[in-house]
Structure 1
Amino acid sequence: DLVLRTLRVRFVDLASSRADVKLSAFIMERVLGMRMEQRPASAGSFAANLRAFESVRDFIGSATVVAFIDLPFALIFMVVIAWISWTMLIPLVIGAAVMVLYALIVQGRMHELAETTYRAGAQRNATLIEGLVGFETIKALAAEAPIQRKWEKSAALLARVGAQLRLLSSTASNTSAFVQQFINLAIVIIGVYLIAERNLTLGGLIACTMLASRAMAPVGQVAGLLVQYHTADTALTSLNEMMAREVERPADTAFISRGRLKGAIEFRDVSFTYPGQSAPSLRKLSFGIKPGEKIAILGRIGSGKTTLEKLILGLYQPTEGAVLVDGIDLRQLDPAELRRQIGYVQQDVMLFYGSLRDNIALGAPLADDAAIVKAAEIGGILSLVNQHPKGFDMLVGERGESLSGGQRQGVAIARAVINDPPILLLDEPTSSMDFSSEDDIKRRLTAFSKDKTVILISHRTSLLELAERIIVMDGGRIVADGPKEQVVTALRQGRIGKAA
């Protein structure tokens, strides 16, 4: 029996481990494939939702599976007891009925407490992650006290509800133990009377006692798993909501591979409204960009410049109209294939913990050393690499904290050009650089982008040297579009106004 139990637990654990790896990989794939408009408002709460998988995994682990495997055998044991003496079955049936009734009574409260505990834990986790991510900002604003109060409030709620849930769980376990003791005692008492009346032998009493213990063991385990069940049920609901979010690559969609793009971009009556917003960010936008053309997009804050670049990247889909690249609607192109052919430098550069090499080659994991060195040279950070003892293996810190703002932008430029993309999308690429560094970047980008389409978003007039055409936006509309010299002259003379 010992060997069989050990083997059973071992096999169940192996199956559970394999399922764990596959399910966790699938969950991460769904998260990374999620559409931008489906992104949750709180990263901390969403991270807690991902951890909910652990609750589901624990519930379907060996203890649960073994308990349910043993339930059919419990019925067999009860049949054998009834065959020996049906009278001995009475306390077993009564005890099982009491445990089932108790489970039905407390399960509503258990589910409520499990759900509240889950939400309180998610809120506390959100506070922790936001505090760590915004650590420097919190310090700079001396905002430790409000964050501390927020943490203590969520921690107090979690502790209070958790204590209630643990009390209810221990009550269920104690009730299960009491019922099992009652059954054993009742069987012995009834057995003594039956032996006295010569309706049962001593061997039959011993057999009934052993079988009753074996029959009630899985029932007692199931009762003890009530809390895990309700916690897992709440977690599973959260996971189901996450899995229901739209992804960029639906299973029923077959994308078209077009090879290397030429770089032609066209907006056809494009309007876009962010989820949860009533006012559109873009309104009936129509314009075209020829392959190899260099344009600059100017406009005030909130004019729609950043939204436009996100539509070009396919991060969002137009609410109305269509965005085309080389005459192909972006919705027909594989998002990853499209983005590999767009060198993107975002305004707020995001670097990841790891080496400089890892961050430069983030979107090109197969890039060789020559490509990495060339990209670093274009980004103006090769001197930084040469002067550091570890070279490209230097650690940049979380979010690139060990680098200056200009150096982070240099890494972002290197990351954008490493794949030699036909389209460059540059959003304030030199805003944190001094003029000397900016001049070097302009010279290198000019040489690199001779045959490439360049879309530049910048408030620095010095960067307009990279452009041959300027588009001015206001209120989500184009208010001017033409050759650089004409548009700059019109702007200086005040002949370009606001959108109506």
Structure 2
Amino acid sequence: MTDHHDRPHHDLIEHPRPRFAPWLVEPMLRNKGTYLKVALAAAMINIFGLITSLFTMTVYDRVVPNNAFSSLIALSIGLAIVVVFDFVLRVLRAYFTDLAGADIDHDIGGRVFRRLVAIRLDQKKGSTGALTGMMRELETLRDFFASATMTALVDVPFIVITLIFIAILGGAVVWVPLAAIPIVVGAGWLTRPALDRLSARAMSEGLTKQSVLVETVGALEMVKTSGASRLLGQRWTRANQQHSDSSTRQRLVSTIATTVAASANTLAYAGTVVVGVFLIADHQLTTGALVACSILSGRAVQPLATIAALLSRLSATRTAYKQIDAMMETGSEEPRGTALKPARFDGRIELRGVAFRYPGAAEKTFDGLDLVIPAGQRVALLGKVGSGKSTIARLILGLYQPQEGLVMIDGTDIRQYDPHAMRSLIGTALQESVLLSGSVRENITLGRPGVDDAEMLRVAELTGTHGFMGRIANGYDLVLADRGEGLSGGQRQSISLSRALAGRPQLLVFDEPTSAMDQTTEMQLIDRLQTELQGRTFVLITHRPALVRLVDRIIVVEAGKIVQDGPRDAVLQSLQRPRTAA
């Protein structure tokens, strides 16, 4: 198994599943009543089409020879009524189709987003760009189910009814549209494998383009300063050329099928006229019947032409479905059954016999790690880069699951907790202070009901955020750009710490919380946190010596093992002895 960063983007596209998944079928079944209305409207529209041909035949055969103008007026009034009903039904059909499509889009979009948020990080496939590109393919599904697809499927059975009608009116003329039907079906059938293959390739290459684009925009500052634009430009050009080539081939194959259908439609109409002329000369057909049959022959082939046009969309939709379904089948961190939703934590943490290996890693990060942090204790995890300190934090937060052993909070395996409920009770500030687009207020409160303006101001004063936000005119309503661009690293960390402390969580996990702060700001923060952290379980990961003033216990981690563990002052003295001796 390779690391997800090295995995090619087309790995997101899996082999087709034997049947449609519940996440797609259930919303469609719930809208079956709407689709029945669409089918009924489509059926009536097809019947009105037959009435139009009868009107034409009657005019040519009865009205014209006899100058029956009164009959023409009556027929015209009847046709006008039919046209009005036809207009209303077409509008209603479009409305109901869009209504069902919007409901399906809302339901499926919500399900897919929830699964994306709950995806297990050790099973995440593809880069960030590839995943965002995959989410964009939801539009392909929506467009397919909210388009004329359902209408086209309803129109197909009426081909038989139309052919029967042609046979009744024109006898042998029916063989002309019958001969055109296999041509249209054959063109669609023969081009389908190529369309499926090209759709999968075009989507894979589209994800590659999306990945390069997202990576470039997300690291634009680095791209400019390090001169990476040349490398990324080459990647973009290569991905763009490949995607353009596949898309062009896909459109060409699709055009062949639709053009064959259009040509068959024209030939069916012309062939009906040619055959009909001989039948009229033989006194087996009237002029009105010929005109009606020529109209109906076009209507008989037209649904198949629509189906041929939809085949290219069907291929893209199938590819999008397979890709999204593969993500929906990826392991979720949500527990099976009824998850526990604790109201609060005491804060006791225990890692018992934990073995863990990152996806694609050659060696285990931990093998049989044991660690107990009593409720209310403040602990610092120290060690060299890559020793496993941050991994312990990720395991406590449930971001990764151990291959062996247990990670427990308050004596319960965290896999039994609802992840959202569990993490809402833990104040977290990780190494990278990621802020969301939106206001500073939203970044601190995150829409949590228990965090009001008073609590926001309290934690902002505590972390020093108010020191720079209070001087700005629009203050906490300042709208941040993506990831908090425009703020310094220290300011982003202050806001991130405010977010972690808001709501007074009993359990706190901080990973390098002051790495971007200057020494004066850091010392002021430490002084304020001394009182704030009293009585809470606090897990601190740091390389900054000043921060250890906040803890009572120090655990030194080296190569995935605990090599020292004890009271803060005793461990610090033992760490300083080798330096003194040197």
- Whether these two folds match at TM > 0.5 is yes
The structure 2 residue matched to 1:405, chosen from 454, 472, 489, is 489
Instruction: Write out aligned runs for 1:269-280 (5 A).
Output: 269-280=353-364
Question: Equivalents in 2 of 1:277, 1:173: separation in Å?
Answer: 50
Say if 2:273 and 2:294, in contact at 8 Å, map to a contact too: yes
Residue 114 of structure 2 aligns with an amino acid whose one-letter code is E
Deviation at 1:240, TM superposition (A): 0.9
The structure 2 residue matched to 1:289, chosen from 357, 373, 377, is 373
1:330 correspondence with 2:330: no
Deviation at 1:405, TM superposition (A): 1.3
Question: Equivalents in 1 of 2:184, 2:481: separation in Å?
Answer: 55
Say if 2:350 and 2:409, in contact at 8 Å, map to a contact too: yes
Partner SS for 1:26: helix
Task: Return 13-22 or 79-88, whichever deviates more.
Answer: 79-88
Render the CA deviation track for 1:439-492: whole Å, top value 9, x for unaligned. 111111111111101111111111111111111111111111111122112212
Report the counterpart of residue 137 of structure 1 in structure 2. 222
Deviation at 1:280, TM superposition (A): 1.0
1:226 correspondence with 2:311: yes
1:82 correspondence with 2:82: no
Task: Return 274-283 or 343-352, whichever deviates more.
Answer: 274-283
Partner SS for 2:479: coil
The structure 2 residue matched to 1:359, chosen from 430, 443, 446, is 443
1:345 correspondence with 2:429: yes
The structure 1 residue matched to 2:109, chosen from 15, 19, 24, is 24
Question: Equivalents in 2 of 1:443, 1:179: separation in Å?
Answer: 83
Instruction: Write out aligned runs for 1:42-441 (5 A).
Output: 42-250=127-335, 252-362=336-446, 364=448, 366-441=450-525
Partner SS for 2:156: helix
Question: Equivalents in 1 of 2:417, 2:96: separation in Å?
Answer: 44
Partner SS for 1:451: coil
Say if 1:340 and 1:363, in contact at 8 Å, map to a contact too: no
Partner SS for 1:387: coil
Say if 1:364 and 1:418, in contact at 8 Å, map to a contact too: no
Say if 2:129 and 2:213, in contact at 8 Å, map to a contact too: yes
Render the CA deviation track for 1:325-371: whole Å, top value 9, x for unaligned. 11111111111111111111111110111111111112635521101
Say if 1:9 and 1:66, in contact at 8 Å, map to a contact too: no
Question: Equivalents in 2 of 1:191, 1:398: separation in Å?
Answer: 69
Question: Equivalents in 1 of 2:307, 2:478: separation in Å?
Answer: 53
Question: Equivalents in 2 of 1:62, 1:471: separation in Å?
Answer: 61
Say if 2:356 and 2:402, in contact at 8 Å, map to a contact too: yes
Question: Equivalents in 2 of 1:422, 1:416: separation in Å?
Answer: 11
Residue 460 of structure 2 aligns with an amino acid whose one-letter code is A
Say if 2:170 and 2:290, in contact at 8 Å, map to a contact too: no
Question: Equivalents in 2 of 1:363, 1:437: separation in Å?
Answer: 28
Report the counterpart of residue 14 of structure 1 in structure 2. 99
Question: Equivalents in 1 of 2:218, 2:399: separation in Å?
Answer: 23
Residue 133 of structure 1 aligns with an amino acid whose one-letter code is G
Question: Equivalents in 2 of 1:41, 1:430: separation in Å?
Answer: 31
Say if 1:428 and 1:457, in contact at 8 Å, map to a contact too: yes
Deviation at 1:248, TM superposition (A): 2.2
Render the CA deviation track for 1:139-179: whole Å, top value 9, x for unaligned. 11112111111111111111222222222222222211111
Residue 380 of structure 2 aligns with an amino acid whose one-letter code is A
Question: Equivalents in 1 of 2:342, 2:240: separation in Å?
Answer: 53
Partner SS for 2:91: helix
Residue 11 of structure 1 aligns with an amino acid whose one-letter code is F
Residue 459 of structure 1 aligns with an amino acid whose one-letter code is H
Aligned length: 494
Say if 2:426 and 2:506, in contact at 8 Å, map to a contact too: yes
Residue 139 of structure 1 aligns with an amino acid whose one-letter code is K
Question: Equivalents in 1 of 2:447, 2:124: separation in Å?
Answer: 21
Deviation at 1:429, TM superposition (A): 1.0
Question: Equivalents in 1 of 2:450, 2:95: separation in Å?
Answer: 40
Render the CA deviation track for 1:168-205: whole Å, top value 9, x for unaligned. 22222221111111111111111122222222222322
Deviation at 1:99, TM superposition (A): 1.0
Say if 2:100 and 2:146, in contact at 8 Å, map to a contact too: no
Question: Equivalents in 1 of 2:468, 2:274: separation in Å?
Answer: 86
Question: Equivalents in 1 of 2:524, 2:184: separation in Å?
Answer: 78
Detail structure 1 runs of 4+ shifted over 3 Å in the superposition.
Answer: none
Deviation at 1:62, TM superposition (A): 2.6
Task: Return 26-35 or 221-230, whichever deviates more.
Answer: 26-35
Distance 1:452 1:405, change over 3 A: same
Report the counterpart of residue 478 of structure 1 in structure 2. 562
Say if 2:265 and 2:301, in contact at 8 Å, map to a contact too: yes
Distance 1:282 1:363, change over 3 A: farther
Say if 2:378 and 2:552, in contact at 8 Å, map to a contact too: yes
Question: Equivalents in 2 of 1:276, 1:319: separation in Å?
Answer: 14
Question: Equivalents in 2 of 1:130, 1:48: separation in Å?
Answer: 12
Partner SS for 1:154: helix
Any stretches of 5+ residues in structure 1 without a counterpart? 496-500
Say if 2:381 and 2:557, in contact at 8 Å, map to a contact too: yes
